[in-house]
Amino acid sequence: MTRENTLVSAQWVEEHLDNPKVVLVEVDEDTAAYDKGHIKGAIKLDWTTDLQDQVRRDFVNKAQFEALLSDRGVANDDTVVLYGGNNNWFAAYAYWYFKLYGHQDVKLLDGGRKKWELDSRELTDELPSREKTSYTATEQDSSIRAFRDEVVAAIGAQNLVDVRSPDEYAGRLMAPAHLPQEQAQRAGHIPTAANVPWSKAANDDGTFKSDDELREIYSEAGVDWSKDTIAYCRIGERSSHTWFVLKELLGQENVKNYDGSWTEYGSLVGVPVALGDEKGEA
Amino acid sequence: MCGATEGGLSLDGVNVAKEAVVQGRVVRGGEPVGNAYVRLLDRTGEFTAEVPTSATGHFRFFAGDGEWTLRTLAPKADPVDRVVQAQTGSVAEVEISVG
Protein backbone atom coordinates (compact mmCIF):
# COMPACT_ATOMS: atom_id res chain seq x y z
CA MET A 1 0.00 0.00 0.00
CA THR A 2 1.13 3.53 -0.63
CA ARG A 3 -0.07 7.07 -0.18
CA GLU A 4 -1.44 7.15 -3.76
CA ASN A 5 -4.05 4.45 -3.18
CA THR A 6 -4.92 5.04 0.48
CA LEU A 7 -5.12 8.82 0.84
CA VAL A 8 -7.06 11.47 -1.07
CA SER A 9 -6.91 15.24 -0.84
CA ALA A 10 -9.79 17.62 -0.11
CA GLN A 11 -9.51 18.76 -3.71
CA TRP A 12 -9.94 15.18 -4.96
CA VAL A 13 -13.04 14.78 -2.80
CA GLU A 14 -14.56 18.00 -4.15
CA GLU A 15 -13.99 16.73 -7.68
CA HIS A 16 -15.75 13.42 -6.90
CA LEU A 17 -18.72 14.71 -4.88
CA ASP A 18 -21.21 13.68 -7.55
CA ASN A 19 -19.72 10.26 -8.29
CA PRO A 20 -22.19 7.68 -6.91
CA LYS A 21 -19.47 5.01 -6.68
CA VAL A 22 -17.47 7.18 -4.28
CA VAL A 23 -19.08 6.97 -0.84
CA LEU A 24 -18.02 9.56 1.69
CA VAL A 25 -18.34 8.36 5.27
CA GLU A 26 -17.98 10.60 8.31
CA VAL A 27 -16.93 8.97 11.59
CA ASP A 28 -16.36 11.19 14.61
CA GLU A 29 -15.61 10.79 18.27
CA ASP A 30 -18.22 13.50 18.73
CA THR A 31 -21.05 11.54 17.16
CA ALA A 32 -23.15 14.71 16.84
CA ALA A 33 -20.62 16.50 14.61
CA TYR A 34 -22.14 15.09 11.42
CA ASP A 35 -25.56 16.41 12.34
CA LYS A 36 -24.20 19.96 12.58
CA GLY A 37 -22.92 19.77 9.01
CA HIS A 38 -21.04 17.32 6.80
CA ILE A 39 -19.55 17.05 3.34
CA LYS A 40 -22.25 16.83 0.68
CA GLY A 41 -23.39 13.26 0.11
CA ALA A 42 -21.54 11.85 3.13
CA ILE A 43 -23.20 9.16 5.21
CA LYS A 44 -22.56 8.82 8.94
CA LEU A 45 -21.27 5.86 10.89
CA ASP A 46 -21.56 6.11 14.66
CA TRP A 47 -18.57 4.28 16.14
CA THR A 48 -20.35 3.67 19.44
CA THR A 49 -23.59 2.21 18.09
CA ASP A 50 -22.86 1.10 14.50
CA LEU A 51 -19.40 -0.42 14.94
CA GLN A 52 -19.45 -1.76 18.52
CA ASP A 53 -21.37 -4.67 19.93
CA GLN A 54 -23.86 -3.20 22.39
CA VAL A 55 -23.37 -5.86 25.07
CA ARG A 56 -19.85 -7.33 24.94
CA ARG A 57 -16.72 -5.24 24.43
CA ASP A 58 -16.08 -6.16 20.81
CA PHE A 59 -16.89 -5.17 17.28
CA VAL A 60 -20.09 -5.93 15.46
CA ASN A 61 -19.78 -9.34 13.84
CA LYS A 62 -19.55 -10.06 10.12
CA ALA A 63 -23.32 -10.41 9.67
CA GLN A 64 -23.99 -7.17 11.56
CA PHE A 65 -21.36 -5.33 9.50
CA GLU A 66 -22.93 -6.65 6.29
CA ALA A 67 -26.38 -5.52 7.45
CA LEU A 68 -25.03 -2.10 8.41
CA LEU A 69 -23.35 -1.38 5.07
CA SER A 70 -26.26 -2.82 3.10
CA ASP A 71 -28.65 -0.57 4.97
CA ARG A 72 -26.49 2.52 4.41
CA GLY A 73 -26.13 1.80 0.72
CA VAL A 74 -22.46 0.85 0.51
CA ALA A 75 -21.61 -1.72 -2.18
CA ASN A 76 -18.59 -4.02 -2.28
CA ASP A 77 -17.17 -2.25 -5.33
CA ASP A 78 -17.65 1.29 -3.99
CA THR A 79 -14.70 3.51 -3.19
CA VAL A 80 -15.17 4.36 0.48
CA VAL A 81 -13.60 7.65 1.57
CA LEU A 82 -13.50 8.12 5.33
CA TYR A 83 -13.07 11.40 7.17
CA GLY A 84 -13.76 12.75 10.62
CA GLY A 85 -12.73 15.06 13.40
CA ASN A 86 -9.83 14.64 15.84
CA ASN A 87 -7.37 14.54 12.93
CA ASN A 88 -9.11 11.45 11.55
CA TRP A 89 -8.65 9.28 14.67
CA PHE A 90 -12.03 7.63 14.33
CA ALA A 91 -11.95 7.74 10.54
CA ALA A 92 -8.64 5.83 10.70
CA TYR A 93 -10.28 3.45 13.16
CA ALA A 94 -13.13 2.90 10.67
CA TYR A 95 -10.58 2.51 7.86
CA TRP A 96 -8.87 -0.26 9.81
CA TYR A 97 -12.31 -1.74 10.50
CA PHE A 98 -13.25 -1.76 6.79
CA LYS A 99 -9.92 -3.49 6.08
CA LEU A 100 -10.60 -5.97 8.88
CA TYR A 101 -13.79 -6.99 7.08
CA GLY A 102 -12.11 -7.04 3.68
CA HIS A 103 -13.36 -3.92 1.89
CA GLN A 104 -11.02 -3.48 -1.06
CA ASP A 105 -11.13 0.18 -1.97
CA VAL A 106 -11.04 2.39 1.10
CA LYS A 107 -9.26 5.69 1.53
CA LEU A 108 -8.80 8.46 4.07
CA LEU A 109 -9.40 12.13 3.34
CA ASP A 110 -6.05 13.71 4.25
CA GLY A 111 -6.60 16.16 7.10
CA GLY A 112 -10.15 15.00 7.70
CA ARG A 113 -12.90 17.30 8.77
CA LYS A 114 -10.53 19.84 10.32
CA LYS A 115 -8.61 20.51 7.10
CA TRP A 116 -11.92 20.74 5.24
CA GLU A 117 -13.23 23.31 7.73
CA LEU A 118 -9.98 25.28 7.94
CA ASP A 119 -10.04 25.52 4.12
CA SER A 120 -13.57 26.98 4.50
CA ARG A 121 -14.97 24.28 2.20
CA GLU A 122 -18.70 23.69 2.09
CA LEU A 123 -20.63 21.63 4.67
CA THR A 124 -24.31 20.80 4.43
CA ASP A 125 -27.01 19.48 6.76
CA GLU A 126 -28.83 17.79 3.87
CA LEU A 127 -29.09 14.03 4.38
CA PRO A 128 -28.14 11.84 1.41
CA SER A 129 -30.28 8.97 0.22
CA ARG A 130 -28.59 5.86 -1.12
CA GLU A 131 -30.23 2.71 -2.48
CA LYS A 132 -29.84 -0.27 -0.18
CA THR A 133 -27.27 -2.85 -1.28
CA SER A 134 -26.45 -6.40 -0.35
CA TYR A 135 -22.99 -6.12 1.06
CA THR A 136 -20.78 -9.15 1.67
CA ALA A 137 -17.92 -8.93 4.16
CA THR A 138 -15.03 -11.36 4.57
CA GLU A 139 -14.11 -13.03 7.85
CA GLN A 140 -12.06 -10.72 10.11
CA ASP A 141 -8.46 -10.38 8.95
CA SER A 142 -6.59 -11.44 12.09
CA SER A 143 -3.28 -10.31 10.58
CA ILE A 144 -4.07 -6.69 11.46
CA ARG A 145 -5.73 -7.09 14.89
CA ALA A 146 -3.76 -7.85 18.06
CA PHE A 147 -5.22 -9.43 21.19
CA ARG A 148 -3.86 -9.16 24.72
CA ASP A 149 -1.90 -12.43 24.83
CA GLU A 150 0.01 -11.48 21.70
CA VAL A 151 0.75 -8.10 23.21
CA VAL A 152 2.18 -9.63 26.40
CA ALA A 153 4.25 -12.03 24.25
CA ALA A 154 5.53 -9.09 22.20
CA ILE A 155 7.20 -7.41 25.19
CA GLY A 156 10.90 -7.22 24.38
CA ALA A 157 10.37 -9.25 21.19
CA GLN A 158 8.47 -7.05 18.74
CA ASN A 159 8.04 -3.34 18.23
CA LEU A 160 5.40 -2.05 20.60
CA VAL A 161 4.42 1.51 19.76
CA ASP A 162 2.47 3.47 22.36
CA VAL A 163 0.92 6.33 20.43
CA ARG A 164 -0.60 8.20 23.38
CA SER A 165 0.69 11.57 24.57
CA PRO A 166 3.91 11.57 26.64
CA ASP A 167 1.96 12.31 29.82
CA GLU A 168 -0.33 9.31 29.30
CA TYR A 169 2.66 7.09 28.46
CA ALA A 170 4.46 8.12 31.63
CA GLY A 171 1.35 7.66 33.75
CA ARG A 172 0.83 11.32 34.57
CA LEU A 173 -2.49 11.44 32.68
CA MET A 174 -5.03 8.64 32.35
CA ALA A 175 -6.82 9.75 29.18
CA PRO A 176 -6.55 12.29 26.38
CA ALA A 177 -6.85 15.70 27.98
CA HIS A 178 -10.21 16.51 26.46
CA LEU A 179 -11.72 13.73 28.60
CA PRO A 180 -12.14 13.49 32.38
CA GLN A 181 -9.13 11.86 34.01
CA GLU A 182 -10.73 9.65 36.63
CA GLN A 183 -10.35 6.09 35.30
CA ALA A 184 -10.35 2.60 36.80
CA GLN A 185 -7.22 1.14 35.21
CA ARG A 186 -3.60 1.52 36.30
CA ALA A 187 -1.48 4.26 34.71
CA GLY A 188 1.68 3.71 32.71
CA HIS A 189 2.71 1.80 29.60
CA ILE A 190 3.66 -1.67 28.37
CA PRO A 191 7.36 -2.25 29.15
CA THR A 192 9.67 -1.83 26.12
CA ALA A 193 7.03 0.13 24.17
CA ALA A 194 8.35 3.16 22.34
CA ASN A 195 6.33 6.33 22.82
CA VAL A 196 5.58 7.88 19.44
CA PRO A 197 2.51 10.06 19.91
CA TRP A 198 0.20 9.71 16.89
CA SER A 199 0.36 13.49 16.53
CA LYS A 200 4.00 13.32 15.45
CA ALA A 201 2.74 11.81 12.20
CA ALA A 202 0.42 14.73 11.45
CA ASN A 203 0.80 18.39 10.65
CA ASP A 204 -1.19 20.95 12.66
CA ASP A 205 -3.92 20.92 10.00
CA GLY A 206 -4.32 17.15 10.39
CA THR A 207 -2.67 16.10 7.10
CA PHE A 208 -0.03 13.39 7.22
CA LYS A 209 3.66 14.26 7.08
CA SER A 210 5.76 13.05 4.13
CA ASP A 211 6.92 9.43 3.95
CA ASP A 212 10.52 10.47 4.58
CA GLU A 213 9.59 12.48 7.66
CA LEU A 214 7.43 9.63 8.94
CA ARG A 215 10.13 7.00 8.47
CA GLU A 216 12.59 9.18 10.38
CA ILE A 217 10.19 9.75 13.29
CA TYR A 218 9.71 6.02 13.93
CA SER A 219 13.35 5.16 13.30
CA GLU A 220 14.46 7.78 15.81
CA ALA A 221 12.06 6.35 18.39
CA GLY A 222 13.73 2.95 18.01
CA VAL A 223 11.28 1.11 15.77
CA ASP A 224 13.14 -1.83 14.23
CA TRP A 225 11.83 -2.11 10.66
CA SER A 226 12.86 -5.78 10.47
CA LYS A 227 10.42 -6.73 13.26
CA ASP A 228 6.65 -7.05 13.47
CA THR A 229 4.85 -4.17 15.13
CA ILE A 230 1.86 -3.70 17.43
CA ALA A 231 0.43 -0.22 17.97
CA TYR A 232 -1.79 0.69 20.90
CA CYS A 233 -3.29 3.73 22.61
CA ARG A 234 -6.18 3.94 25.10
CA ILE A 235 -9.11 2.45 23.17
CA GLY A 236 -7.55 1.68 19.78
CA GLU A 237 -8.56 4.68 17.69
CA ARG A 238 -5.37 6.78 17.82
CA SER A 239 -3.37 3.61 17.25
CA SER A 240 -5.46 3.01 14.10
CA HIS A 241 -4.03 6.32 12.90
CA THR A 242 -0.49 5.03 13.51
CA TRP A 243 -1.38 1.60 12.07
CA PHE A 244 -2.47 3.48 8.93
CA VAL A 245 0.86 5.32 8.79
CA LEU A 246 3.03 2.24 9.27
CA LYS A 247 1.05 -0.22 7.17
CA GLU A 248 -0.71 1.83 4.53
CA LEU A 249 1.58 4.82 3.98
CA LEU A 250 4.99 3.29 4.69
CA GLY A 251 4.07 -0.20 3.48
CA GLN A 252 5.45 -1.99 6.55
CA GLU A 253 4.52 -5.69 6.71
CA ASN A 254 2.91 -7.22 9.80
CA VAL A 255 1.55 -4.26 11.68
CA LYS A 256 -1.30 -4.91 14.08
CA ASN A 257 -3.59 -2.60 15.97
CA TYR A 258 -4.31 -3.59 19.58
CA ASP A 259 -7.84 -2.25 19.98
CA GLY A 260 -8.08 -3.41 23.60
CA SER A 261 -5.27 -0.94 24.23
CA TRP A 262 -4.66 0.66 27.61
CA THR A 263 -8.23 0.36 28.89
CA GLU A 264 -7.76 -3.41 28.64
CA TYR A 265 -4.04 -3.77 29.37
CA GLY A 266 -4.12 -1.35 32.33
CA SER A 267 -6.88 -3.46 33.90
CA LEU A 268 -5.21 -6.88 33.49
CA VAL A 269 -4.09 -8.67 36.64
CA GLY A 270 -0.44 -9.65 36.83
CA VAL A 271 0.97 -8.06 33.67
CA PRO A 272 4.07 -5.84 33.83
CA VAL A 273 3.60 -2.06 33.70
CA ALA A 274 6.29 0.59 33.31
CA LEU A 275 5.93 4.07 34.80
CA GLY A 276 7.73 7.23 33.77
CA ASP A 277 9.29 8.42 30.54
CA GLU A 278 11.67 5.44 30.06
CA LYS A 279 10.65 2.36 28.09
CA GLY A 280 11.30 -0.06 30.93
CA GLU A 281 12.75 -3.57 30.89
CA ALA A 282 11.30 -6.71 29.34
CA MET B 1 -8.84 36.22 32.44
CA CYS B 2 -7.67 33.23 34.44
CA GLY B 3 -10.08 32.56 37.25
CA ALA B 4 -12.94 34.45 35.60
CA THR B 5 -15.61 31.77 35.54
CA GLU B 6 -18.50 34.18 35.16
CA GLY B 7 -20.20 33.59 31.81
CA GLY B 8 -17.91 30.64 31.10
CA LEU B 9 -18.79 27.11 30.10
CA SER B 10 -21.08 25.37 32.59
CA LEU B 11 -19.29 22.99 34.95
CA ASP B 12 -22.40 20.92 35.64
CA GLY B 13 -21.44 17.25 35.81
CA VAL B 14 -17.70 17.95 36.11
CA ASN B 15 -15.97 16.85 39.29
CA VAL B 16 -13.88 20.01 39.55
CA ALA B 17 -12.16 18.88 42.76
CA LYS B 18 -10.49 16.00 40.87
CA GLU B 19 -9.74 17.69 37.54
CA ALA B 20 -7.38 20.42 36.35
CA VAL B 21 -9.77 22.13 33.97
CA VAL B 22 -8.61 24.50 31.25
CA GLN B 23 -11.49 26.04 29.35
CA GLY B 24 -12.57 29.17 27.58
CA ARG B 25 -13.82 30.74 24.43
CA VAL B 26 -12.42 31.69 21.02
CA VAL B 27 -13.56 35.04 19.67
CA ARG B 28 -12.97 37.19 16.62
CA GLY B 29 -13.82 40.87 17.03
CA GLY B 30 -15.76 39.97 20.19
CA GLU B 31 -17.92 37.38 18.37
CA PRO B 32 -17.63 33.64 19.19
CA VAL B 33 -15.79 31.48 16.63
CA GLY B 34 -17.64 28.15 16.34
CA ASN B 35 -15.37 26.50 13.78
CA ALA B 36 -11.98 26.85 15.42
CA TYR B 37 -9.73 24.08 16.75
CA VAL B 38 -7.89 24.39 20.05
CA ARG B 39 -4.83 22.22 20.63
CA LEU B 40 -3.37 21.55 24.09
CA LEU B 41 0.43 21.26 24.03
CA ASP B 42 2.45 20.06 27.02
CA ARG B 43 5.41 21.83 28.59
CA THR B 44 7.72 20.45 25.89
CA GLY B 45 5.42 21.64 23.10
CA GLU B 46 4.16 18.10 22.41
CA PHE B 47 0.56 17.73 21.33
CA THR B 48 -1.70 16.37 24.06
CA ALA B 49 -5.26 16.97 22.89
CA GLU B 50 -7.41 18.95 20.53
CA VAL B 51 -11.05 19.98 20.49
CA PRO B 52 -13.24 21.83 18.02
CA THR B 53 -14.99 24.84 19.53
CA SER B 54 -18.73 24.68 20.14
CA ALA B 55 -21.21 26.91 18.33
CA THR B 56 -20.67 29.42 21.12
CA GLY B 57 -16.88 29.30 20.67
CA HIS B 58 -16.27 27.33 23.86
CA PHE B 59 -13.70 24.60 24.52
CA ARG B 60 -12.59 22.55 27.56
CA PHE B 61 -9.65 20.34 28.53
CA PHE B 62 -8.96 18.13 31.53
CA ALA B 63 -5.24 18.68 31.96
CA GLY B 64 -2.76 17.95 34.75
CA ASP B 65 -0.98 20.33 37.11
CA GLY B 66 1.50 22.63 35.42
CA GLU B 67 2.08 24.79 32.39
CA TRP B 68 0.34 24.15 29.08
CA THR B 69 0.06 25.96 25.78
CA LEU B 70 -3.21 26.41 23.92
CA ARG B 71 -2.72 26.65 20.15
CA THR B 72 -5.79 27.90 18.33
CA LEU B 73 -6.38 27.29 14.61
CA ALA B 74 -9.23 29.07 12.85
CA PRO B 75 -10.15 29.51 9.19
CA LYS B 76 -8.41 32.48 7.59
CA ALA B 77 -6.35 33.25 10.71
CA ASP B 78 -2.78 32.63 11.85
CA PRO B 79 -2.41 30.16 14.75
CA VAL B 80 -2.51 31.83 18.19
CA ASP B 81 -0.51 30.39 21.14
CA ARG B 82 -1.44 31.10 24.76
CA VAL B 83 0.34 29.76 27.86
CA VAL B 84 -1.91 28.68 30.72
CA GLN B 85 -1.36 27.22 34.20
CA ALA B 86 -3.57 24.32 35.25
CA GLN B 87 -4.14 23.05 38.76
CA THR B 88 -6.23 20.19 40.09
CA GLY B 89 -9.28 21.59 41.84
CA SER B 90 -9.34 24.80 39.88
CA VAL B 91 -10.65 26.03 36.54
CA ALA B 92 -8.37 28.09 34.30
CA GLU B 93 -10.61 30.25 32.12
CA VAL B 94 -9.06 31.69 28.94
CA GLU B 95 -10.44 33.93 26.23
CA ILE B 96 -8.57 33.67 22.94
CA SER B 97 -8.84 36.30 20.25
CA VAL B 98 -8.04 35.30 16.67
CA GLY B 99 -7.33 37.72 13.83
Q: Is the dihedral of CA B66, A264, A204, B32 positive or negative?
A: negative
Instruction: Identify whether A233 is a catalytic site residue.
Output: yes
Q: How far apart are CA A192 and CA A281, in angstroms?
A: 6
Strand duo A229-232 + A255-257: pairing: parallel
User: Is the domain defined by A3-140 classed in CATH 3.40.250.10?
Assistant: yes
Write down the pTM of the prediction: 0.89
CATH match for A143-265 among 1.20.1560.10, 3.30.70.270, 3.40.250.10, 1.10.8.60: 3.40.250.10
pLDDT digits (tens, 9 = 90+) for A92-141: 999 999 999 999 999 999 999 999 999 999 999 999 999 999 999 999 99
| Inter-chain CB proximity A117 and B75 less than 8 Å | yes
Query: Going along chain A, which residue ranges are E strands?
Result: 7-8, 22-26, 43-44, 79-83, 106-109, 159-162, 194-195, 229-232, 255-257
Interface with B, mutate which of A34, A118, A162, A242 (most B CBs under 10 A): A118
Do A176 and B42 count as a contact with CB atoms less than 8 A apart?
no
Condensed to tens digits (0 to 9), the pLDDT of residues A155-202 reads 999 999 999 999 899 999 888 877 777 677 899 999 999 999 999 999
Architecture of domain B18-97: Sandwich (2.60)
pLDDT digits (tens, 9 = 90+) for A23-50: 999 998 888 889 989 999 999 999 889 9
**Binding-face residues of A in 174-193 toward B, CB within 8 A:** 175-182
Assess A171–B contact: CB distance below 8 Å, yes or no. no
Give the start-to-end residue ranges of the domains of chain B.
18-97
CB of A212 within 8 Å of a chain B CB? The answer is: no
For chain A, the domains span 3-140, 143-265
* Cβ contact A120–B76 (<8 Å): yes
